[in-house]
Amino acid sequence: MSRQVHFFDQPERFVAGTVGQPGARAFYLQASSRGRITSVLLEKAQVAALAERIEEVLDEALRRSGGEAPIPAVAPVELLDTAPLDLPLEQEFRVGTMALAWDARDDCLVVEAQAYVEESEDESETEVFDDENGPDLLRVRLSGAMARVFAKRALDLVAAGRKPCPFCNLPLDPEGHLCPRANGYRR
């Protein structure tokens, strides 16, 4: 089966979102433009890592340009997006590998999310899937402002999960929590 590349150049919308209740949420990246919607499933830790790394890449690009790159220091309030994910929510693939790059020529951030592929024992660890038979790919090019907006929403989304236990810092469940710091004792 040939590789499917979902490419969005300056999409109308690129967001991280969830479905479900805290503790049982499914995390998605969703790009949409001109009525076309692409949604990919990923882990909460991947969303957090992506958002943090986007902030780092944008800060570094701004620093290297001497402040000349069109990147705002913070997410512009007028661009903030708090709407739910677009429907229909149809998962294209589960994300395995992600990559980021700042394109200084076009002043945009390139985000790539590649489908998860199970390795067989005979595959080498250094094999690159950059051919027509590689795993599916979501590639999105964002302006600096849109990238800041994405990162802010993603970080807020990750922080909106279950509250941590004040003793062990593990997530508290609504139905109770066996705290390892309490050595199994429950009041």
pLDDT, tens digit (0-9, with 9 covering 90-100), for 105-157 = 999 999 999 999 887 655 544 444 456 778 999 999 999 999 999 999 999 99
Q: Under DSSP, is residue 115 helix (H, G, I), strand (E, B) or coil?
A: strand
- Distance between CA 43 and CA 98 in Å, rounded? 12
Predicted pLDDT at 55: 96
Predicted pLDDT at 126: 45
Residue 158 near residue 45 (C-beta atoms within 8 A): no
What's the average model confidence in pLDDT over 156-175? 82
3-state helix, strand, coil in the chain (%, to 5): 25, 30, 45
Predicted pLDDT at 185: 56
Mean pLDDT taken over the chain: 87
Better pLDDT: 29 or 167 = 29
Q: Is the pTM of this model over 0.75?
A: yes
* pLDDT (tens digit per residue) in 8-38: 999 999 999 999 888 788 999 999 999 999 9
What's the average model confidence in pLDDT over 30-57? 95
168 confidence band (pLDDT: 50, 70, 90): confident
Query: Which DSSP state fits 120?
Result: P
